[in-house]
Structure 1
Amino acid sequence: MMHPLGLLGGTFDCFHAGHLALVERGLVECEVLEIWLTSDALAQLKDSRTCSWNERTSDLLDSIGKAAAQRVSLHTLEDEDGPAPIHELATAILCTPETRAGCARINSMRAANDLPDLAVIEVEHVLAADGEPISSSRIRAGEIDREGLAWIPESARTGRIVLTPAVEAELKDPFGQLIPGPEDDPSVAMSQVLAQIEFETGPLIAVGDVTVLALQELDHPADIALIDGRTKRQPWESADAIDASVYDKVLRCQSPAGSLTPSLLEACAQALTAWMDDGSSYLIEVDGEEDLAPLFLHPLAPMGAVVLYGQPGKGVVVRRTNEDAKQRCRRLLSGFASIE
């Protein structure tokens, strides 16, 4: 027999397969489901990158479909328990294993209010491809997508992949916003970039010797910098002016021109993981070329990261890491040819 009314609460940011499983189970067990989404004020305290209440509710409704939406009502959750301790019509509450204790506390409060216990419907986590639970925090950290899939194709993890003509054609246009500036004075465009990203919270990632040096000369070194000692595929004398001492650590890797390697992937992953752990800055010296590195950096980076690279003769390209950037990079990486 179905419960007349069930309660479900949470932030529901980056609405994912685990969230969908909760809602679907709720609609199997309950005729009507009240979903209480954390208020913007509370959600921002947990993570400033959390989307607004309106965005989260819209995302939820789009994901569950029109038929399910007719049996759901959406509300704002202003505290940890919401209306559950005093709700007179609700007969059930949904939870995941780690929130079950909260349901027991709510039922104790209901008993004190002379209300019957809510039936606790526990829903197991949906696991990502790596066997770990899908979560909004993992999605924001850039680890997985909303279905729990990795952003880096297996072919790129296990061997060298090579640029194909089809992918190369797609890379001709700037991948991001072009900030114009004179080629002989990169500081002009870079100063505009720094003003634009002043309040960004993600790591600043610079790809290319000219870009890395321009940031250093403006006393704003990148959090993660990739260099290869070249510009326009030719040795660059000014590369010696790049000061490795401004970074916490230096990594070295190999990635031949026109290709991407597990060596480069490992270096990028190590640097980004360290930045997310403790804010460490890294200089990555690439033996070969680093110009294709953004195709690894966006999939690996947390949401909100800023990736910069130079566009010879035009200026600096700025691209913020978001799901669109990650999806595009994954698609392009899948178009590379594998080297046996």
Structure 2
Amino acid sequence: MHSLGLVGGTFDRFHSGHRALIERGLAECVRLELWLTSDHIANSKDSRIEPWADRSSKILTSLGDSADRVSLHVLEDEDGPAPWHETANAILCTPETLPGCERINQARAANSLGALEVIVVKHVIAHDGTPISSSRVRAGEIDLDGEPYLPADTGLVSMIMTHEVEANLKDPFGQLFEGPEDDPSVAMRAVLEEIFGSPGPVIAVGDVTVKTLQDLGSPADIALIDGKTKREEWEHASTIDHSLYNDTRTCENPAGQLSAGLYLACAAAMQAWREDGRSCLINVDGEEDLAPLLLHPLAPLGAVVLYGQPGRGVVLRWTGADSKSRCRDLLTAMVRD
């Protein structure tokens, strides 16, 4: 049993891999010092990384009765205190950070200090056989336990709405920005102010929402239209400018359903945006109303999904673990065809 072990990292979106690392440290060390990357360094890598205070709070909550064996510190550089720490005698890492620990021990030797025993902790593996990581969680690929946000049969079958699912969708799924129905730009201007600087993508569902964003000079990154509003043909649908998008896709999706074709179109659009920021207009033959149930699970954390609420304004929903989990539950509850 080592008297003091060192652990360093960002520890964003505290997940099962983080938990396994700390549990191994507590099993082999009397005490642990956890050095969490500072906000300044973390935000320079990804603006979606949680604040240091939030990251540290989640760790402390997870420790339970072991909290008195762990201290938390701010990591301001790559190695922290490890090269000159006089009381530490172990350091924990994952396989890809092993070279950093070896470099630290070389620095310790130059400082006339003994080598730290390096404890390598294997990754926790996600459902798809690849490691759980904070970057994958932020990308929206997996949840904190490495599970997918989309049911396994998504894209293979049509999913049909039930009365239970419909009841859960009656209230606005997000923040409502109110405005007059005859001038949707009023609500949309407030939305654009709210989402300014977001990491994206901005996803718009519905012809009026898509057209309003275009009129304000801020076309969505991913837009879904069906030529209707309030389930009736919209006379201004033809004024939507398809040329504003890098790609155009078409699919069929009957009312009250989520077809395999709609999923494939949304997934392809999201992948193209991830790879090189390509925008996409998806023209749906049928209805696109339920598309957010697919879009949130597909999107990275920090994405924005917008849709109109007839007679009330525009609904904004940020993509986060909560929205992804809710959509997963609703998709699971739908009937398969």
Query: Is the structural similarity TM-score above 0.5?
Result: yes
Which residue does the alignment assign to 2:225?
227
- Which of 228, 245, 248 matches 2:246? 248
Partner residue in 1 for 2:324: 326
TM-score by length of 2: 0.98
Deviation at 1:304, TM superposition (A): 0.9
Determine the C-alpha separation between the residues in 2 that align with 1:225 and 1:21.
Answer: 40
Aligned to 2:58: 59
Q: 1:91-240 residue pairs with structure 2 within 5 A?
A: 91-240=89-238
Structure 1: stretches of 5+ with no match in the other structure? none
Moved over 2 A (4+): 155-158
Distance 1:154 1:326 in 2: 15
> CA–CA distance in 1 between the matches of 2:135 and 2:114?
34
The DSSP-based 3-state class of the residue aligned with 1:27 is helix
Identity %: 62
Task: Give me the whole-angstrom Cα distance separating, in 1, the residues matched to 2:54 and 2:47.
Answer: 14
Give the superposed CA RMSD.
1.0
Deviation at 1:199, TM superposition (A): 2.3
Q: Given that residues 206 and 229 in structure 2 are in contact (C-alpha distance below 8 angstroms), is that contact kept between their aligned partners in structure 1?
A: yes
Q: Using the alignment, how far apart are the partners of 1:136 and 1:307 within structure 2?
A: 22
- Whether the 8 Å contact between 1:155 and 1:161 is mirrored in structure 2 is no
Distance 2:133 2:19 in 1: 12
Task: String of CA shifts for 1:303-331, please: whole Å, max 9, x gaps.
Answer: 11111000111111111111111111111
Shift of 1:300: 1.0
Find 1:267's aligned residue among 260, 265, 268. Answer: 265
TM-score normalised to the size of structure 1? 0.97
Deviation at 1:60, TM superposition (A): 1.1
- The aligned residue for residue 7 of structure 2 is 8
Q: In the aligned structure 2, how far is the partner of 1:255 from the partner of 1:148?
A: 30
- Matched with 2:32 is 33
CA–CA distance in 2 between the matches of 1:120 and 1:189?
A: 56
CA distance in 2, matches of 1:157, 1:19: 32
Structure 2's unaligned 5+ residue stretches are none
Q: Distance in 2 between matches of 1:143 and 1:84?
A: 33
State the distance in 2 between where 1:158 and 1:116 align.
58
How far, CA to CA, are the matches of 1:69 and 1:247 in structure 2?
Answer: 52
Q: How many residues align?
A: 337
Q: How does 1:293-312 map to 2 (within 5 A)?
A: 293-312=291-310
Partner of 1:22: 21
2:222·2:281 contact (CA, 8 Å) conserved in 1?
Answer: yes
Structure 1 position 154, deviation (Å): 1.7
Which residue matches 2:45?
Answer: 46
Could you tell me how far 1:278 is from its partner in structure 2? Answer: 1.3
Whether the aligned pair in 2 keeps the contact of 1:156 and 1:260 (CA below 8 Å) is no
Judge conservation of contact 1:155–1:338 (CA < 8 Å) in 2: no
Between stretches 35-44 and 272-281, larger displacement belongs to: 272-281
SS in 2 for 1:158: coil
1:117 alignment partner, SS class: coil
Partner SS, residue 237 of structure 1: coil
**Partner deviation per Cα, 1:35-92 (whole Å, 9 max, x = no partner):** 11011111111111111111000011122x3122221111111100001001111111
Q: Is the 8 A contact 2:222 2:280 kept in 1?
A: yes
Shift of residue 253 of structure 1? 1.6
Q: Is this contact kept in 2: 1:224–1:281, CA < 8 A?
A: yes
The offset of 1:262, in angstroms, is 2.1
1:74 and 1:258 map into 2 onto residues whose CA distance is 50
Does the 8 Å CA contact 1:251/1:284 hold for their aligned counterparts?
yes
Q: Does the CA contact (< 8 Å) of 2:3 and 2:30 recur in 1?
A: yes
- Give secondary structure in 2 for the equivalent of 1:265: helix
Is residue 155–residue 261 contact of structure 2 (8 Å, CA) maintained in 1? no
Name 1:84's counterpart in structure 2: 82
SS in 1 for 2:129: coil
- Equivalent-residue separation in structure 2 for 1:141 and 1:201 (angstroms): 11
1:160 Cα offset (Å): 0.7
What displacement does 1:252 show? 1.3
